[in-house]
Each structure stands twice: as structure tokens, then as C-alpha cells.
Structure 1
């Protein structure tokens, strides 16, 4: 109890989440009298990131930095606009399609929002969209990043669950496309409700030029995702090769990536990767201490008393994750919950670990746009100048659509488990 209150108090005081987790782990050790655990504390902290799967994480972050600096993201946005026909709210659909393309490369909601807020929102405003609606569509598109490979959340889950990264990537493709389709329905509804303008019709020649100019940019996601799904390369190898491809495309083809841009991209990559990996290490130590405290067994007993079927378990899981997502970032939440709940899901209810992981990552993505933490929400608000409260209200239809997709995923996973 003291440890839990201390954790909440530290978060309330604005302490870094990693620090709060490490401090909570040490309080738990002191409460339980297991001082022998302190001897292995440093070793466990290091072991938390001693995973081959996590090697791909900084490389995918670097890939996103290189794409932003090399003009690849701008070409993909132009390609999305060329592929969307002149329908109502056409630019909003362009925004969604471009978000889907970037999600298959960046793997980070904050990175994706940073790129799209600069590219899409001004363009939509010039076309007659209210700024808050343009910002809302852009923010909602950021929810695709945690679900579509190469999501950082999926990589972290794979490392914890000891499942192949390539398998979890493949398992997330259909849910990611289903989420994009659900968002397209919401955008069509918004288009009628707000009388949003149609996308300007482009001559066939302009569409063809956009496609041709984007072909080199498409090489990068083709390498990043295609080589993994095709079994040609591991995620780490694919990220490295795609990063080299992004440098070549940005430097030699588009001629927008300058050599002096590379040190800055490397520094930002190191800072982001360091923060994420430190979170992973801290959360792994806390999970290790909780395991010694018999929390997984207690949680399993409580869940079995509450949930008699796989479907009921997944309903309770989704409710728990929705609550956690409002106060924790997705990566630490994944690391805290997966070691406790995954053995219950697979051992007690027979739920596939890949399906469990996709549901876990998709659910916690909602927390990125939910107050009070909501890193994605406040990033979108800061970049677009739209108040976070207004964005939260306008995002409600997208939240409902995502909950509907989560419900469908849960029903399918429960059916496969034998409900």
C-alpha cells in the first residue's frame, strides 16, 4: 500500500516516471524485508534492456528523423493527395492516408504528429478547414502509429513477451487497417456535419507526377516493413537498411538531406532512445520486484474470480488498460502490465500472445490523446495552437471508433481461445 501511494505521489509531484518506478521498487523491497534483492538491483536494471529485440528501437527512431529531414514525408503527403478522389472532406482523408503511410515508417505517435502538424494542418486551413477540425484529424491519425508496424510499443511488447518481432508486426497489420477504415468512416461523417470542402481535382498529369516523385520515398517503407514480413531481414537489420536507404534517397534523389543535418538527427535519436530504454529498464526492475511479492499469483486469482470466460477477461482487461492509459505512457504501462497479465491470458484463458499484445498496444494508444498525461494530445495542442480541451472533445468520435475496433479484436481473440 505504501509503495502504491508513493508511486502516485511521485507522479503527482511531476517526478519522471522512470524515477517513480525505481523508487517504488526500492520501497517494496524495504517493505517486504527482501534486502537481498538490492544486491541484484543493478544487474536487473541492466538486464531490462539486454534484449536483441530492443536493438531495433533506436534505429527506427533514427529512420523517422532521417525521413523528416530528407523530404520523404512531404512526398508521401503529396502521394496521398494524388490518390484521393475529389470527395467531401477529401483533404481529411488525405491526412489519414498520409498518417497511415508515416505510421508504417516512424512507429512513434509524437514523431508522426510533429511531421503531420507541420505539413497537413496549414494545407487544410488554406483549403477552408477550421483549424480545430484539421488539428483533430491530424491527432487522430497519430493513433495509428502504436498499432501499425514498426510501432515502438509492439517492439517493447515483443521483447517482454519473448515473441518474434516479425510475428507481432504481421499480427498488427489487419487491426491497423481496420482502425484506419473506422477513422475514414468518422471523417466522412465529420465532412457532412461540418460541410467540409472537397479536395481539389487534380489533372491526371499532376497525379502521375506525384506518384513518380513519391516512388523513391516508397522504397523506404517497403524495405522497413516488407523485409520483416517477408522474412528477409530481422527488424534490427531492416531498420538499419531502411535508414541507409533514407539517407541515400534524401541526399541523392531529393537533395534535401544535408550532411550537417546528420549530427542533429543522431543526437535527437540518442536522446529519445535513451529516455525510452531507461523507462524499459526501470519498469522491468519494478516488475521483477512485484514478481517476488507474489503479485502475479494474486492478480491471477482475482481475475479468475471475476472473469469466467476469455471474453469476460478481455472486457476487464480493456477497462483496466483504459484507466491506466490516462495516467501512464504506453511503454511503461506495457512493461508493468504485460509480465503480470500475459501469463494469465495465455495460461488460464488460452488467448494467443500475439492477439493479446496487439489489444494491449492498441488500447494503451488511447492514453496518448487522453488527459491528464496525453503526450500526443499536448504535442498536437502545442504544434497547432488548439486548446487541449477542445481537441479532447472533438476526438470523441475517433475514440468511439477505436473502442469499436478494440471490441471486435477482443471478440475475435476470445473466439479463437474457445469462448
Structure 2
């Protein structure tokens, strides 16, 4: 196993490649202008530094609140309220950073291979659509702020305007960031696509009286044709959701548009979602402090000498590490660079390694404390504790199925030159790894035993990781803290803006009567609850590949979970089926973005890896069928 500086550099390089794989390609830019330089200074002072400070403040607020309540038995009533206000500001500031960095979630499958000249036109068109959405949202955001200025918060007794102002500030600054990206690009595609967007917008406005008479046909126009077209050309998913919703409400209904920022704020204000940035930061900490490396070293010493031993180590490490970070790319980057070099020396093929890495990412989506589990609990009302308890066994089923594939592929591996570690070496590795291995146990036990909520427990993990890194592993680079805080804010903002826009879209779909129609259709699926589960699993495999996990869960979770309860499916069982199915779609080629992230981390061409990934995906498909047909795997320990 590679250690020390080389390993650290490998991981940082892998993460850089991952960012290239999953982030949108930037518009072709001209020379930096004075406006760009001014914007950069404004970003640092007004956006980046406050975002980093808010992440730190949230850690202290929630950690201090949990300590006061559990250890001192003196709860501080205002901590949650203040944390909620700061959280909305963090979400909007993070979304600004993500837009400025070009790291909002998007689908690039259909545009990634376009020639550079044509790609510049598509990127310009996508950015104009972002500008159009933000411009149209300005007035509703202002009206939303005005409505809340006279309302006071219940505990702090300050104006709700402090919370609502975050939405308006975020819209304004994102509009500036998007406009500057357009101004810094080549003028010809920008001018032509801008004119195209203006003409199409004007035409839709002229057709508005006719659209209002079409009824639910507008759902097809705006939520199928427009939304799919926007996603296909690479418009970030959050903005595609928001633009489709805004156009639908403004052009085909009489609904006041201030409902959009109101629903966005409501979607992003669930305090349980505050776990998203905190677990993202915790994931970065366990990599930086050496906890992840200690876990892997112990697993290698334990079973690395067996046939397929390192493959089993990779699966075991992903099972342990996954769920702590907010991004599967971070999970994979914490594990793969330490194992791939030795696995290749033992004769493993590049394609097989990427197939295993991709499938392990899909397998681990249900492992607590998963961001997807937290999101499901937030948008559907399912108990987070029940989801955390129910999530371990489904991942274990996937682990067993994938282990069978590894056994078959490595049954003839030559291990004669691989030394077997002594018992004392294994014990020493275990003692070194114990503080690291204790972290997932502490996190999950604290939630299950009621010591802390799913939001607060992340702060326990953060304080534990800091202490372990400084005192035990003596590996703590203070210079990396600020970039980690900014990365946390950007990733959290990208996730939470999707949650906000998807919440507004789900509300619009519900008000249109679509939810009732969906209930009638799915309730009539042949096969009762088994048929409903199979249809749901297939649907979320497709949704996971096209929309990624969180957008699919936020958009369709509130619609489908009540139907599942209506047909007699246990809510935790249903959650595990759809999350596992979504993970399978997220990491399955040719559309799943997780597959390309794994290729970037492993530095393997997708063309080489794609033919080798299918045995692992087939194993996960078998696991998904078992989870669907056997509820005990999800509910047996509740």
C-alpha cells in the first residue's frame, strides 16, 4: 500500500480528475477583463469567506447544542433557529460558488463528445437559459422578501427577512456570475444563442393565452419537452427544474410567482438537511487526517494475501467509508488510489477494477449516514433512525453478490509471491486502525441510541476526526482547511439548490392534479405491491442514470411514498429499494455519471472499462431483485 506524501498527491490528483469528469465544461473564455477581476475580489469577500465561516459556525452551533442538551441537560433553545437561518445562507452562497466554478450537477452524456466549436454554442445556450431563469426569479424573490419582513421568528424574535434575504441575494449573485461567464466567452455564439432564447421566450409569452386553455397538456410541454431538452443540452439540473416550473406557472396558470422562492426556501430549510454540508466536511476530514488510510491498511494486512484479497478490501473499505462523505467521488478517491497500484501489479485488469469500483459505489448508497438517506427522511417524513438501521443489510446483500463475482474472477490468481503478514503485524495494524474503525460505529450508535440527531451526530464525527488526526495519527494540514470548507459549501449548495428547485417543481405537479393521476395509474399496476415495487425499481434505475440520486428522490419521493403506503409496502423497505435502484442507475454506463467519475479516479478510459463493468452490475441487479422480493433485508432489524 502506498503511504505518505505520494499517496496524498495521488488522491488530490484523482479528485482533480473526478471534478473534470462530473463538472460541466466551462464556456470558451476570452482574456480576463477588469470586470472578472472585480468579480473575483467580490466573490472572495462577499461569498467565499462568509460561506467558509458559516460552515464553521454550524459545526459549533450544532455541536454545542448537542453537548448542552445531552451532557449538561440544559438545552439552548435558540441554536436550531439560528442554525436554520445560517443554513439557508450557506445553501445560497454555496450555489453561487458552485456556479462560479462550474460544478453544479448536470448531464453531459449527449454533449461531451461534441466538437469544441459546437460545444461552445451549446454551452452558451445553456448559460443563457440559466440567466433567463435567474432574471425571471428576481421579482418573485423580492416579493418573497417583502412578505417576510414583518414576520418574526419564534425564538430569537428577529425578522424572517434575514432568512428570506438569502434567496434574493443568491439569485442576484448567481445572475452576476452567469452573466460574467457569458461576457467572458466568445461573442458570436453568445450573441446568437441569446437572441434565440429571447425569441423563444417572446413566442411563449405571446402563446400564453392559448396555453392556459390546454390544461394538463402543459405538463407535457413544460415538464417533459422543455425539461428534457434543457437537461439534454447540459443545463444544470437545478436550473432546468426551476426554469420548467417557472415557465409552467407563469405561462399556463394564474399562480403568483412568489410561490417559487417560497417553496425553494421551504425545501432547503429542513434542518435535517444541515447534515449534508457537515457530513461532506467530515468526509474530507477522514481523508486528510489519515483515518481512511488506516482502515485500508488494516484490511490489507488481514485479507490482502488471499485470492482476490485486495478486491475484497476495496469492497470492505467502501462499505466502511461510504456514507460519511457527501459525495461518492470522494468515497472512491479515498479508497482506490491506495489499492489500485498493487492490484495492477497482481495482474488485475483496468476494466475489472473500474467495474468493481463503480459497483461498490452503487452498493453503498444505503449505508448510513448516507446523504441520500437523510434526503429521503427530509422529503418524505420517514424516520431517519429507521432508515439508518434498515440501510446496512441491503448494502450487505450487494456486498455478498459482488464478492461472488470477485471470487469467480480471481479464483485462479497466482498468490505465491504475496507474503502473508504475521499475526503480530495484523494486530499492530488493527491497533493503529481502531480509532478510525470506531468512527462509523460512534456515528451510527449515537443516532440509534438517541444521543444526537442525524444532523448533530455529524459534529461528533468532525470533533472526533480532528482529535484523532491531531493526537493519534498526527496528520493534520491546517492549510487545507479553508479549501475544504469552500469545497463543502460548493457541493452542499449544488445539492441543496436541486432540493429547493425540485420542491417547487413537485408542488407545481401536485397542484396540477398529476399526483392524483399518478396514484390511480400506479395503484392499478398488475401484481399488487410486488408489481408496484418492480415498476418503482425500474423507474429509479432510469431516473438515477439521468437525474442522479438526490434530484430523483426529491422530485418523486413525496409523490411515490404515499402510494407505496397505500398498496401496503413498508416505507423503509420502499426507501431501500428505490435508493439501491437509483444507485445502480447512477453508476451504470452509458449514462450514469458515477461510472465516469470512477473512470477518472482510476485513470482508465471509459471505452476500456465499459465492457468489464457488466458482471458487477449484474450482481447488483440480482441484489436489487432480492431486496425487492424479500422485505426482511430492509425491515428485519427495525
- Is the structural similarity TM-score above 0.5? yes
Pairing 1:330-409 to 2, within 5 Å after superposition = 330-347=549-566, 349-409=567-627
Deviation digits for residues 315-373 of structure 1, max 9, x if unmatched? 111121222222111100111111111111112x1111111111111110012212344
Query: What corresponds to 2:409 in structure 1?
Result: 190
Pairing 1:310-321 to 2, within 5 Å after superposition = 310-321=529-540
Pairing 1:88-103 to 2, within 5 Å after superposition = 88-103=307-322
| Alignment partners' CA distance in 2, 1:120 and 1:353 | 38
- The reply to whether residue 33 of structure 1 matches residue 253 of structure 2 is yes
Query: What corresponds to 1:19 in structure 2?
Result: 239
Q: CA deviation at 1:392?
A: 2.8
State the TM-score, normalized to the length of structure 2.
Answer: 0.62
| Alpha-carbon contact 1:327-1:373 (below 8 Å) kept | yes
| Alpha-carbon contact 2:273-2:378 (below 8 Å) kept | yes
| Alignment partners' CA distance in 2, 1:310 and 1:177 | 24
Query: What corresponds to 1:137 in structure 2?
Result: 356
| Alignment partners' CA distance in 2, 1:130 and 1:306 | 43
Query: What corresponds to 2:459 in structure 1?
Result: 240
| Alignment partners' CA distance in 2, 1:290 and 1:68 | 41
**Greater C-alpha Rg:** 2
- The reply to whether residue 215 of structure 1 matches residue 434 of structure 2 is yes
Pairing 1:86-165 to 2, within 5 Å after superposition = 86-106=305-325, 108-165=327-384
| Alignment partners' CA distance in 2, 1:196 and 1:303 | 52
| Alignment partners' CA distance in 1, 2:516 and 2:252 | 16
Query: What corresponds to 1:281 in structure 2?
Result: 500
Deviation digits for residues 101-124 of structure 1, max 9, x if unmatched? 111533532111121232221231
Secondary structure at 1:307's aligned position in 2? coil
| Alignment partners' CA distance in 1, 2:280 and 2:634 | 34
Deviation digits for residues 103-148 of structure 1, max 9, x if unmatched? 1533532111121232221231233322332232222222233111
Deviation digits for residues 247-298 of structure 1, max 9, x if unmatched? 1111221111122221121111111111111111111111011001111111
| Alignment partners' CA distance in 1, 2:390 and 2:369 | 12
| Alignment partners' CA distance in 2, 1:298 and 1:113 | 40
Query: What corresponds to 1:301 in structure 2?
Result: 520
- The reply to whether residue 411 of structure 1 matches residue 629 of structure 2 is yes
Cα pair distance change 1:308/1:182, threshold 3 Å: closer
| Alpha-carbon contact 1:377-1:391 (below 8 Å) kept | no
| Alignment partners' CA distance in 2, 1:323 and 1:270 | 29
Deviation digits for residues 166-217 of structure 1, max 9, x if unmatched? 111111111111111111111101113x746476411112111110110111
Deviation digits for residues 2-61 of structure 1, max 9, x if unmatched? 11101111011110000000011112213532333x132111110011112111111111
How many residues align structurally? Answer: 414
Where in structure 1 are there 5+ consecutive unaligned residues? none
| Alignment partners' CA distance in 1, 2:387 and 2:632 | 18
| Alignment partners' CA distance in 1, 2:419 and 2:450 | 41
State the TM-score, normalized to the length of structure 1.
Answer: 0.94
Where in structure 2 are there 5+ consecutive unaligned residues? 1-219
| Alpha-carbon contact 1:279-1:332 (below 8 Å) kept | yes
Structure with more relative contact order (C-alpha pairs < 8 Å, separation 6 or more): 1
Deviation digits for residues 217-236 of structure 1, max 9, x if unmatched? 12321222221123222111
- The reply to whether residue 67 of structure 1 matches residue 293 of structure 2 is no
| Alignment partners' CA distance in 2, 1:51 and 1:160 | 9
| Alignment partners' CA distance in 2, 1:281 and 1:196 | 53
> After alignment, is 396-405 or 194-203 more displaced?
194-203
